[in-house]
Amino acid sequence: MSMNENEMGMAVTGIPDVTVIIGAYEAMPYLIPCLESVEAQTLGADRIEIVAVNDGSTDGTGEYLDEFAARSKVATRVVHQENSGGPSKPRNVGLDMARGRYVFFLDADDYLGDEALERMVAMADRNGTDVVLGKIEGIGRGAPKSMFGRTLERTDVFSSNIKMTLSAEKLFRRELLEKHKMRFDQQLYTGEDARFTLEAYVRSAGVSVVADYVCLYIVRRDDGKHITQSGSYAMRFDSAKALMDLIAELFPPGEKRDELMIRPFVITLLPQFDHRWLKAKAETREDKLDLARPLMEKYWTPGVARRLKVPERLRMYYVAERRADLLADHLTFLQAKQVPEVIRKSSAAQPYLAYPHFRDKKAGVPDEMFAVTVSEMVGGVRVTAPKAPIRPTPSFARRVVRKLRRMARGLARS
């Protein structure tokens, strides 16, 4: 491993505000706008350092990093290492070298909005929060949106939807990461960022969300070399297991664990059992059910089930029960874009969605699997679960009085 440190650019005096850690593998030409976006930061070159790790590239990535380090006003250190096969080791190497109060893990094919670091550092400093999420926009790909409805000075993983974005491209207080000896799992080749980021959320003294400015632009690579585009499905199950195991380590069985388990079930497992599962070879379909089995046995609970929308819950239920026949019927119904009938006895009653095999005695699927428990759209109409009437618990004194009255009425009748 060789290291080239930028001596020609402006040196960082004291401790930089942010260390931008960039792991780069075969990153040309995406690396060019990525680095330019760091140079363009309004935070100022003297308050930033870059640690770039060339992970065994052969396309000129390493040469471009050396050239950039030699001329940039942003203090830049470049590490050249043999290819590690994933993003974890480059990030860990960068984190070991970081000197900033904060670190930002920037993928080499993405880039920052000009004011991103200035806004995120100001947010963390103002609120004493340890993690800051900046609004994300996709370039040629989708981007998470549900957690960016409004700017939040301080929140946590249970008070907002931040659990649904667990990429590592966020601002982290380095003191938090060092205190808990947090590093990326080098045995994982996808989903390593989810485990790292969720742990940071949970261990943090608070999380902030910048929703009024696009801080990060995530770019779809046309060459298919991004690990999330190219990894095998077995990696997805490894990723789900790693995140589920972490959640179980952090929280005992109960409401909080179930709330966080929604994320690996919906984001990681569900896509393995969508319309593509129908088209897969029989051995692939069976293999996916086999890979899912230990996760379903360990972490599929009634608490998780009632937090899912009906079509999601049914898919997971059929996977848990290994009912490939019912799963196929359900996916065929969804693929045809059919709309289930909403069934309830009255406007205030529990609504059920009549997907295939609803109240089919032969199939034997419990009615509660079809019950609406979270708000969802059905044929363009929002269907919500009934609000259970709140019945105040009577005090001990009132219960005694009521009992005496019932006894008195009984004596009077006799």
Q: Which residues are catalytic?
A: 193
Cβ count near 74 (within 10 Å):
24
- Residue found under tokens 């664990």: 257
> What stretches of 264-383 show up as alpha helix (H) in DSSP?
275-279, 282-299, 302-305, 310-320, 324-335
CA–chain centroid gap for 225, Å, is: 21
- Residue found under tokens 């009425």: 409
**Token pair belonging to 83:** 């290819």
- Residue found under tokens 């926009």: 137
Angle (CA) 175 168 63, round 5°: 100
The DSSP output letter for 54 is: E
Cβ count near 178 (within 10 Å):
11
Is the CB of residue 172 less than 8 Å from the CB of residue 102? yes
| Gap between the Cα atoms of 129 and 141, Å rounded | 30
| Gap between the Cα atoms of 277 and 287, Å rounded | 11
| Residue 378 host element (H or E) | strand 376-378
Cβ count near 306 (within 10 Å):
14
Is the CB of residue 242 less than 8 Å from the CB of residue 165? no
Pair type for strands 2-5 and 111-112: unpaired
Q: What is the DSSP string of 74-110?
A: SEEEEEEE---SSSHHHHHHHHHH--SSEEEE--TT-
- Residue found under tokens 């379903």: 296
